[in-house]
Amino acid sequence: MVDEWTGQTNVDAAADEAVAWLLRLPSAGAEEWRAFTDWLEADPAHGDAYDALARADAELDDALTPPDWSDTMPLAAANDDRAAPRRRWALAAFGGLAAAGIGVVMLPLETDRAMRIVETPSGVRRAVVLADGSRIELNGGTKLAIDDGAARLVTLERGEATFHVTHDAAHPFVVQSGTMRLEDVGTVFNVARVGPHLGVQVAEGAVMFQPEQERIMLTAGAALSHLDGEAPRLSGVAVGDVGGWRNGRLVFQRTPVRLVAAALERSTGVVVQVAPGLLETPFTGSIGVTGGADRLIPRAAALIGARAEQVDGRWRLVGGHAGP
């Protein structure tokens, strides 16, 4: 078997077929499972190949499950819109019942209405599905408090998240951050909090900013930037760029370098400081989050027109040239 990409000819045929099965089984029906069993029975090498692959893939679930996560994740969060053996980590409470492809199965609402805290370390992303089907993708360095009871209230304490909200006119979905509130009108939107700064970008539908006060309606393509104690500033954003971090692409439009640094930190998990003179310098452009921080940060610095210095494992962006 020749892998067209690598040109390697030594990929074991059984391993290759095992990968195909591993990718197909999450959405497989009865007939495919029968075919899978036939395949396993046809040759012991098939079973060995699949077994090794399935175990290696399950090891990865451990890696994606911070130890404190499974304790705070109620089962309702395992709701998903598709079959997913890799949701297993969310079901740790089942004693390893492997989530069995959640498929379109709706697990019951939790009776415990207490707020649960969902937190990601820098550099680690996560997705959470709420009981109502709304989905939240958390960037690294993010802390959310979720009340997915009747109130549908999520508090963004810090970091960044993209919300895919299942609209329900009777029960508005509210995102609170600091003293600011956002209410959805059926929506996909991204919210980022860095200290006193709140940024909101809307990809689909609409969000009401401060429904009890200013009542600013943000529709698809709108961006809002708000600094505590000041008036919000509105601008535009390409809809495809909203929550670009999810695809490893950070897009900025006249964004102060301190917020660019915070975005790099969330994505890489590496601390990125900024020299005082550079903090408010605006940057417009996009940065692909690829490769290790060792290459990424200097690349980003060059793009910003700065230099990156590394001291004791921390990166620092300093003024790089005398240009404009």
Partner 1 sequence: MTLGGLRAVFLAERAMLLRLLVARLGSVEEAEDALQDLWLKLETVTGGPIAEPVGYICRMANNIAVDRRRRAVRRVDRDTGWMETQSGADEQPDAERALIARERLARVEATLARLPDRVATAFRLYRFEDLPQKAIAERMGITVSGVEKLLHRAYLRIHVQRPDSGADVARAGRLPHEEDQRDGR
Kindly identify the residues of this chain, within the stretch 36-55, that bind partner 1 according to CB under 8 A: 36-37, 40-41, 47, 50-55
Quick check: 225 and 209 in contact, CB under 8 A? Answer: no
Token duo for residue 320: 């790089």
Q: CB of 165: closest distance to partner 1 in angstroms?
A: 16
List binders of partner 1 among 222-251 (CB under 8 A): 246-249
Residue 171 DSSP one-character state: S
- Interacting span for partner 1 (CB under 8 A) from 19-27, 171-179, 197-205, 211-219: 19-27
Q: Which residues pair with 143 in a beta bridge?
A: 119, 158
Determine if 13 is a binding residue for partner 1 (CB under 8 A).
no
State the residue for tokens 């990865």. Answer: 60
Look at residues 176, 168, 137, 138 and name the one whose alpha carbon lies nearest to residue 150: 168
Min dist CB 130 to partner 1, Å, is 14
Find the binding residues for partner 1 in span 49-108 (CB under 8 A): 50-60, 62-65, 67, 80-88, 94, 96-101, 103-108
What's the closest the beta carbon of residue 214 comes to partner 1, in angstroms? Answer: 30
Examine residue 11 and tell whether it contacts partner 1 (CB under 8 A).
Answer: yes
Q: Which of residues 168-227 bind partner 1 (CB under 8 A)?
A: none
Interatomic CA distance for residues 161 and 192, integer angstroms: 6
Residues numbered 269-308 forming contacts with partner 1, rule: CB under 8 A: 281-288, 290-292, 299-300, 303-305
Pick from 2, 13, 34, 228: which binds partner 1 (CB under 8 A)?
A: 34
Count of CB atoms situated within 10 Å of the CB of 301: 24
The answer to whether residue 12 forms part of the interface with partner 1 (CB under 8 A) is yes
Site for partner 1 in 305-324 (CB under 8 A): 305, 324
Per CB under 8 A, the list member of 28, 145, 153, 217 interacting with partner 1 is: 28
Identify the three-state secondary structure at position 222. strand
Interface region with partner 1, contact rule CB under 8 A, candidates 5-13, 144-152, 185-193, 208-216: 5-13
Compute CA 123 distance to the chain's CA centroid, rounded to the nearest angstrom: 10
Q: Taking CA 56 as the corner, what is the angle to CA 122 and CA 105, rounded to the nearest 5 degrees?
A: 75
Please give the single-letter amino acid code of residue 136.
I
Tokens 């030594």, residue located: 10
